[in-house]
Structure 1
Amino acid sequence: MNFVQKKILFISPYFFGYEKAIAARLRELGAEVDFYNERPSDTIITKGMIRVKSKLYQKKILRYYEKLWHKLEGKNYDYFLLIKGESIPLSFLEKFVSANPDTSKIFYSYDAAAEYPKFLKLYPFFDSNFTFEPSDAKRYHLHFRPLFFLEDYKLSEKISPPKFNVAFIGTAHTDRYLIGEKVRNLCSERGFKTFFYYYAPGKLAFVLKKIFDKNLQHFDMNRLSFSKLKHSEIAEIYRESFSVLDINKPFQNGLTMRTFEALASGKKLLTTNCDIKNYPFYHPENIHILDRNDIEINADFFQTEFRKLDASILEKMSLDSWLHCLFFQHQDDYWGIKQCFN
């Protein structure tokens, strides 16, 4: 991977510090990176206004991107990487593409087009379009590239016996709490020790969301935290755990970041995502698939140790491999998109 003296425009929303890790790694590899937040601000109100497509807020978005355009004029970039693109105006992309015909333009999504139909309007502006969602890759003829893990989570010294049998750390949304509590109760019946951390970015926003989302109406607010954990803190909790619970959104098949972080940590995974069977690293000794409509836990899963992943598989799951895939050579054949859906 040769990024030496390459100039990269990187636009992305803030997502739990991963955008900082991506920019930092690109710089370590020799690139000059100009990073800009995809949103004018990152407040709860801003995110909500973007989601409901407020015309009033669209004016603020346009002003933000007009100022950004003035900063970028005259700069010659080798690459433009956009992640998600929920709020970026199409008019900005039109100007950028017209003014930078020689720039390699790359789009990556860690959400499904069913949730963000705007993605369909973004694809034509980019030379390479990548998604973590296998059904989108097949339907819209995109490159398929799952997410990655950060070095914080790389396999470390085990704690024996582990402090927790099952750990869950995740944002409170959709049916996560309902499923999480079923798992926690089943673990309690079996005498398993658990760690559950449900996160929400703001109390008021969550209370309002709770009114309209039936999945959240039974949420015990005392079990909710409004503080983000650092990656080093999450990695330490994983280190203390035998397994990690993953609960994907019910309308997404793409694997969460948690999947890769848990496996890179050498931890077994309990997941509601049955599509994980189609990935090269799947092994039933390491991964227990849960039926979100009928949660059952096989106690035998906790009787065997984690089956160590081959170094080549672990490398493909890394951030470096993700970067190489997006910037230099797609990995469609390796990840087997054609196998994901019949």
Structure 2
Amino acid sequence: MKNLEHLKGKKILFFCVQSFNMEKDIIKQLEKHGALVTYFDERPANNNFTKGMIRINRNFLQRRINKYYQNILKLISNQEFDFLLVNRGEVVPKFFLEKFIKLKPKCQRIFYTWDSFGNHSHGLSILEYFHKKFTFDRKDAVKYQIGFRPLYFTDRYREIYESDTDKSIDLLFLGTAHSDRYIISNQIAEWCKENKLTVFNYYYMQGRLVYFYKKYFDPSFKMFDFKKLSFKSLNAQDIVQYYDKCNVVLDISHPGQSGLTMRTFETIGAGKKLITTNIEIKSYPFYNPHNILVFDRNDIKIEREFFYNEYIPLNSDLYEKCSIDGWLEDIFMNNEINSWNIN
């Protein structure tokens, strides 16, 4: 990506929640291109209690959040920045952005979210403070008149594109436990067993507090088997190793979300086939029915032949566009209206 050479020497203040080390991947890639990154977790702490309480009742932690951001203002008061990048905007308060703008009026401010506003609405309340705003969700982009930019795969997935590792897993599901994921993945797992295909499912839950809250208020969680949940997230290397062993990846998107998941792009980076509930994928330039099978979550029908189809590689330009460098180029160097604004 030629434009990324312009990041060399640029000072970037970066806020992002800690999520499967995705924030570390972004920092690493920015630094690879010569940027100087100052990073802060959006949340005042990364323990399960804090993460759960932010989701359940943010007001309970508001004083702590305010104190956390007041301290950040003190730490950065004598530093200059070329860019402010807020990724997700789950916690960053208005007062912080207002004071930051007064302190650093020349800094270009960029907002991105890899979650839908229906799941995390706080970002909507701070959009006005940014020069450029992007979302991974095309419907949200249209609704709120901001830029549309899908997610990406990181360089580690390139390494397993043509791996000769024995493929011991026919279908792989890795994901956070929410909505109807457990029900759907178990139904598909049963179908796979009947068709003599091996399956591996991994369900992550942010914490026991979140689990019991959802168990009480969310009817879909009443069917979750507590023993099958993991309260420890997989690290990046764990995920890559699972991908290396599999042929097909199962993606079950949130019912209220139209944006494509990170899993979608990881399968592209790794050269794996994908089975997904997200019908929106059919409008993307990389959609190919040989590589991607879309099914109805309310009427599950899987084609056995799909597991034996050969994967058809993307052309190099489109492959690179789906990479983390393609993502960085779009949000840092391009305008909100770009080539991802597909019809």
Q: TM-score range by the shorter chain?
A: over 0.9
Q: Look up the equivalent residue of 2:178 and give its one-letter code.
A: H
Secondary structure of 2:253's aligned partner: coil
State the partner residue of 2:312: 307
Identify which of 168, 172, 181 aligns with 2:173: 168
State the partner residue of 1:156: 161
Note if 1:254 corresponds to 2:263: no
Identify which of 231, 234, 243 aligns with 1:238: 243
Q: Which moved more, 1:151-160 or 1:235-244?
A: 151-160
Q: Distance in 2 between matches of 1:151 and 1:169?
A: 19
State the partner residue of 1:101: 105
1:166–1:241 contact (8 Å) kept in structure 2: yes
Secondary structure of 2:190's aligned partner: helix
State the partner residue of 2:68: 64
Q: Look up the equivalent residue of 1:237 and give its one-letter code.
A: Y
Q: Once the two structures are superposed, what CA deviation does each residue of 1:236-275 show, in whole Å capped at 9, x if it has no partner?
A: 2112111000000000000100000012111100000000
Note if 1:269 corresponds to 2:274: yes
1:280–1:335 contact (8 Å) kept in structure 2: no
Aligned pair count reads 338
Q: Distance in 2 between matches of 1:323 and 1:94?
A: 25
Q: Distance in 1 between matches of 2:211 and 2:165?
A: 38
Identify which of 181, 190, 195 aligns with 1:185: 190
Note if 1:316 corresponds to 2:321: yes
Secondary structure of 2:274's aligned partner: strand
Percent sequence identity over aligned pairs: 40
1:320 CA displacement: 0.8
State the partner residue of 1:221: 226
Summarize the Cα distance change of 1:56–1:220 in structure 2 as closer, same or farther, 3 Å threshold: closer
Q: Once the two structures are superposed, what CA deviation does each residue of 1:25-49 show, in whole Å capped at 9, x if it has no partner?
A: 1112111111001110012221232
Q: Distance in 2 between matches of 1:333 and 1:67?
A: 37
Q: Distance in 2 between matches of 1:295 and 1:332?
A: 36
Note if 1:114 corresponds to 2:118: yes
Structure 1 segments unaligned to the other structure (5+ residues): none
Greater relative CO, 1 or 2 (CA 8 Å, sep 6+): 2
1:159–1:240 contact (8 Å) kept in structure 2: no
1:9–1:80 contact (8 Å) kept in structure 2: yes
Give the structure-1-normalised TM-score: 0.94
1:54 CA displacement: 4.2
Moved over 6 A (4+): none
Q: Distance in 1 between matches of 2:143 and 2:295?
A: 26
Q: Look up the equivalent residue of 1:306 and give its one-letter code.
A: Y
Q: Distance in 2 between matches of 1:93 and 1:146?
A: 25
Note if 1:76 corresponds to 2:99: no
Structure 2 segments unaligned to the other structure (5+ residues): none
2:82–2:106 contact (8 Å) kept in structure 1: yes
Q: Distance in 1 between matches of 2:207 and 2:57?
A: 20
1:86–1:116 contact (8 Å) kept in structure 2: yes
1:330 CA displacement: 3.7
Give the structure-2-normalised TM-score: 0.94
1:9–1:79 contact (8 Å) kept in structure 2: yes
Q: Look up the equivalent residue of 2:218 and give its one-letter code.
A: D
Secondary structure of 2:65's aligned partner: helix
